[in-house]
Each structure stands twice: as C-alpha cells, then as structure tokens.
Chains A and B, each alone.
Chain A
Amino acid sequence: MLARLTTLLLLAATLAATAQDYTAEQLLAGVKAARPSGGIYARLRMSHTPAGSTKPEILQVQVKRRIAPNGHSEHLYQLLFPANRKGEGLLLKISDGQFTGSSHSPSSGTKTLQPSDRSLGLFATTLSIDDVIAEFLDWPSQTLTGTENLGNIPCHIIESKAPASSKSTARLVRSWIDAKRFVTQKMQVFGSDTTRPLKTVLTEKVLRNKTGYYLPVTFTVTDTATGAQTTVEGVRSDSDLTFPDTAFTPEALQTLTTAP
C-alpha cells in the first residue's frame, strides 16, 4: 500500500516537474506575449528617492505606446506633476535594440536624442531609456541557469548575454521569471563587471489585465552604485487604443492630451 502510494507520488512529482520544464526562449516568449500589442495609455505614479535622500519625490506621468505600422515600437512619456516640471516629455521609437527620438522640456524646448542618451534617466529617475527598450529580451544568448523561490514564488533564473553588436550598457541581465504567470519578479543588470549589478529591479505588485496576462504594475528600480531608487506604480491604463501617427511626433511632445 505504502509502496504504491510512494510510486504514485513520485510519478506525480515527475509529471509536475516536466510540465514546468521550459526553455529560456519559451519563458521569454511568455513574458513578451504578456505585453499588449494594441495601443495603450497608462498613468504612472513614480516615486523617486535620489541618492542620499530619504524623502521621495512624486512624479505623475502619462505614457502612450503603440506598435507603429512599420513594426517599430513607439513610446511617449509626459510629466504631469510636479507643476514646475509639467510638460517635460520623451519620445522614443525603438527597433532592433536601436532608438531614435526627442526629449522636451517647456523651458529648454525640444532636442533630438543621441545614441549616447541611452543611459539617460526617464525624468531624471533611475529608470533609463536603456531599461525601457529592454533589448535583452531579443539577445540571442539566453541560458536557464537555475531556479529559486522569491518569497513563495518559484522562479526560473535566466541569464541573457549581450552580443558584441549591442549598444546597451548592459552586458548581462539576470532575470527571475515566475513560470506560472510569466512575470519577471526580479532583475539584475550587469555591465562589464558581472559580479556587481549596476541596477536591480524588483517587482512589488502584479495584476492580471483584461486579456488574462499578468503584468508587473509596481516595481522598484535601484541604482546599486548610488542607492537612488525609483518606484513605478501603474495607477490606471487603457488598452487596445488606436493613436494617430501624429501622437508620436516631436510636435506631440509640446502638448498634453489624454487617451483618445
């Protein structure tokens, strides 16, 4: 009786194990699939604690995003609050890990982004353009290096190595992916020194969207060198929107409009 029970348990365990045996590519595909394909409008509340400070600075931000007809990913970030910085904005057009775009501020006008602006913080937070592009998802070298429980969430650890051609400041990205919900729970971004991460990203809250995918809605980006931290919190969002092409032009940076 006991012997049969043990066999049964072992069998069940093996089955469960095989069901969870993903490849790194499958996991990343899962994470990418969760990203909405249609246009989205999101309101973020960012709370940025600069290095050496304890008092967070609150930023209210609106984000518009779409996949343009040419397949490029287009992002528009605009600052709503604090009032003295209202209207600051960033436009990004991303393809193949490369980006073009403009930045805008009411006082100094619109500027075209240079490739060197890649590590620029979004509204001077620890969240950089490089992070937003998240190019590492497409890097060819992806290895599953192990599993670890974060809290009570079992995660697979994937190491993504940058190819020589990549312009990203990140040379290695280690991600902890919750394989049940395909949500990145934690990330470490390394430069050439692969012992000390440049940045860590920690997911704090995950929500299920209308289409049934899970998305991180609150996460914190920490600059490990300075200790500066930015917590990004999704306040609300609208998906499946259709934006006109004019919504992602340098001119669009100069006006504030909400979701269409």
Chain B
Amino acid sequence: MTLLQLTLKNLSRRRVRTALTIMGIGLGIGAVVALLGLAWGLEASWTDAYKVRKTDLVVRRSGGGLIAQPFPDSASEQVAQIPGVSQVASLLTEVLSIESVPMMVVSGRQWQSFLWENLKIVSGRLPTSADEKVVVLGTLAAEMLEKKPGDKITIEIDEFEVVGIADGGAVVENGAIMISLPLLQGVMQKDKMVNFINVRLDPKSRDPHTVSQVIQQHIPGCRVDIAEEVLSQSDGVKTFKAMNWGTSIIALLVGTFGVMNTMFMSVFERTREIGILLALGWKRSRILRMILLESVTLCFAAGIVGIIAGIALLKILTLMPWMQGRIEPQITIELLSLALGLAIAVGVASGLYPALHCTRINPSLAIRQV
C-alpha cells in the first residue's frame, strides 16, 4: 500500500462529493482552456497571416477605427525608397457581404507582389495577369461559398470566375477572397487607393523599430505596425486577453475555494482518523503530504476533465457558422500543460491550508472525539 493508494481510497469514500468537486474545478479549468485557446488562436491567426506572408511591417492610415481607411497607392513607392526596406506590396482589403455569406474579407493584392507567393494552389491555378477577371479563394472561403474552380462569383456588381483555391497557410488568408489589386479597386470605385502596405525588410537591415520610425516621418498621417507586435499591441486584443484571463482567474478562484471547502469538510470529519495516524507514529509531514496529495489528485482529475471539456467546447465553437474563418482556436501542448499546471497549482493552493490544519491536530484530543 502506498500513499497514493491511500489517497485514492480516501477520495473514493465520498464519491458524489469527489465527483462534484471535480466537476466544479474541472469547469474552471475547462473555461481556462476554452478562453485561452480562443485568445491564443486569435493572436496566432493574425500573426500567422503576416508570418506566412513574410511581412515585417504594415503601413496603414492612422485613425479610422476597425476598418482601415484607404489612401493613395503612391505612398508605397515612397516606402520602397526608404533604406532598409527590401520589398513592398500594397493591399486593398474590404469586408463585404458576398453572395450568401454575410461577411467576408476580399483581399486585393498588388499584382506580382510577394503577397501571392504564400498561396499554395490546392486546385485550379493563380490568375495569369492583373486584369484577368478572376479570383482565387482561400480554402475556407471556398467552403463557405460552396465554390470550385470554374464557378462564377458575384462581388458587388461584378462577376468573376473562380480559377483557383489556395491554402494561404493561415486562417485569415484561407477565409479570404484573393483578387488582383486593380480589379478590386475597380469594383469598389477606389481607383489607385489601397489601405495597407506590407513591407519586407532587408534581412541585414536595421531593426524594424527604426525603419518604422523613418517611414512614419516620411509619410505623414500613417501608422506603422511591426507585424510581430500587431496583435499583441492592439487594444482590442489586449482587452480580449485581459477579459479571458480575468474570467479564467475568477473561475479558478471559485474552483479553488470549492476544493478547499471539500478538503476541509473531509479533514474535519476525519480528525479522529488523523489522530489515529499520528498515534501510530505517522510524521506530521506525512499527514501533510497525504492531504496535499488528495487535493492535488482531485485537481489533477479535474484538470483532465477540464481539458476534455475545454477542447469539446472549442470544437463546438469552431462548428458555429459565425466563428468559421475568424478564429482557429489553438489547442497546443503549451495550453494543455498550462491547464494541467494550473490544476495542480489549484490543488496545492487549496489543499495547503486544510493540510496545515491537520498537522496541528492534537492526537490525544482527536482520538477522544466520538
């Protein structure tokens, strides 16, 4: 018989209470998995987009809220002149209601720019020229629109042919319609206008911060984001993450007190048994370890339950139509180990006080108790 076996026996004594406690803290852990999975997913899906495009800087007009305001494409030539910049590619990105899909990103990309490089054609082909009246769909977009190469697609008043379906390597790319920049400028009547310039830096060049400052000086009214930081620095994401962490912490706190309550009830009703163990020569440290092991085991089980619940919740969320193409939740080893780590931490935190209480039990008094 080992301490762990003893622990399991103790926990299985009050099955319902143990199960309910596991459910309680398990839900907390589940919430952590789901919320952080979403937050990380959101971040990853955007940073991924820049990563797959190998974009270092993004230039846009400052202000204008959620939707980037258009500005003349001539700025991109200016940016290209700046030392340290190796390549530029302009983009006109619109969020439109396409056919039966309520909202979809249409990405007008500078023809022959690096923005077409990361698209791996899954079926069909890429456009052959800037003014061929065709589009390429991201894999997710193709699914949502139910299109295959050869089909026609209506974008605002114009009709285009779908010539290819491409895997862009990131959710944001895959959920979009890719079209050559002049075509989209035509559709939107935004001749020579763009709303983003993607910039690649010279590998050996100065650091992105310096270059971004130079760009800002050269082009008044623009804002330069460093791709790696775009999302982590955006207020929306900051709030989203803070809220998720906040909710997670509250869920965990509630769970912690739940486990603490359970452990206290359990040690109170076992005061006499603990007295017996002490009388039989058990070291106080062994009693402490036993109680801690009980609460950690409880929380470890809850961690497993929570991880399963969290993953299930995320899977359900990804099936929701309004989630598709927006966030791909990240279920990574890091997330799961974090969840399990938190579960164990909760176990230690909630077991420590009851365990310390046990070590202060006077065996002769405890044994007298009936």
- Residue numbers in A under 8 Å from B159 (CB-CB): 83, 86
- Residue numbers in B under 8 Å from A80 (CB-CB): 154, 156-157
Q: Is B152 an interface residue (CB 8 A)?
A: yes
Stretch at the interface among A109-117, A181-189, A251-259: A251-259
Tell me, rounded to whole Å, the shortest Cβ–Cβ distance linking A148 to chain B.
Answer: 31
Binary flags per residue of B292-317, CB closer than 8 Å to A gives 1, else 0:
00000000000000000000000000
Tell me, rounded to whole Å, the shortest Cβ–Cβ distance linking B145 to chain A.
Answer: 11
- State whether A81 touches B102 (Cβ < 8 A): no
Cα A235 to Cα B106 in complex, Å, equals: 14
- State whether A235 touches B152 (Cβ < 8 A): no
- State whether B102 touches A259 (Cβ < 8 A): no
Cα A13 to Cα B46 in complex, Å, equals: 50
Cα A260 to Cα B159 in complex, Å, equals: 19
Q: Specify which of A60, A257, A260 lies most central, judged by the most chain B CB atoms within 10 Å of its CB.
A: A60
- State whether A258 touches B102 (Cβ < 8 A): no
Cα A43 to Cα B187 in complex, Å, equals: 13
Among candidates A43, A45, A60, residue contacting B154 with C-beta atoms closer than 8 Å: A60
- State whether A81 touches B154 (Cβ < 8 A): yes
Stretch at the interface among B72-80, B92-100, B191-199: B92-100
Q: Is A58 an interface residue (CB 8 A)?
A: yes
- State whether B97 touches A60 (Cβ < 8 A): yes
- Residue numbers in B under 8 Å from A256 (CB-CB): 157
Q: Is A62 an interface residue (CB 8 A)?
A: yes
- State whether B187 touches A258 (Cβ < 8 A): yes
- Residue numbers in B under 8 Å from A43 (CB-CB): 96-97, 156
**Contact flag A62-B96 (CB < 8 Å), given A258-B188, A259-B189:** no
- State whether B154 touches A257 (Cβ < 8 A): no
- State whether B187 touches A235 (Cβ < 8 A): no
Q: Specify which of B98, B100, B157 lies most central, judged by the most chain A CB atoms within 10 Å of its CB.
A: B157
Closest to A256 in B: B157
Tell me, rounded to whole Å, the shortest Cβ–Cβ distance linking A63 to chain B.
Answer: 13
Cα A142 to Cα B60 in complex, Å, equals: 51
- Residue numbers in B under 8 Å from A58 (CB-CB): 99-100
- Residue numbers in A under 8 Å from B152 (CB-CB): 83
- State whether B189 touches A81 (Cβ < 8 A): no
Interface residues of B in 85-112 (CB under 8 A from A): 96-100, 102
- State whether A81 touches B99 (Cβ < 8 A): yes
- Residue numbers in B under 8 Å from A25 (CB-CB): none
Q: Is A135 an interface residue (CB 8 A)?
A: no
- Residue numbers in B under 8 Å from A233 (CB-CB): 97, 102
- State whether B154 touches A86 (Cβ < 8 A): yes
- Residue numbers in B under 8 Å from A260 (CB-CB): 189
- Residue numbers in A under 8 Å from B189 (CB-CB): 258-260
Tell me, rounded to whole Å, the shortest Cβ–Cβ distance linking A138 to chain B.
Answer: 33
Tell me, rounded to whole Å, the shortest Cβ–Cβ distance linking B190 to chain A.
Answer: 10
**Contact flag A62-B157 (CB < 8 Å), given A83-B152, A258-B187:** yes
- Residue numbers in B under 8 Å from A81 (CB-CB): 99-100, 154
Question: What 9 A-B pairs are tightest by C-beta distance, nearest first?
Answer: A58-B100, A256-B157, A235-B97, A45-B97, A81-B154, A81-B99, A258-B189, A258-B157, A80-B154
23 A-B pairs in the complex with CB atoms less than 8 angstroms apart: A43-B96, A45-B97, A45-B102, A60-B98, A60-B154, A80-B156, A80-B157, A81-B99, A81-B100, A82-B99, A83-B152, A83-B154, A83-B159, A86-B154, A233-B97, A233-B102, A235-B96, A235-B97, A235-B102, A236-B96, A256-B157, A258-B188, A258-B189
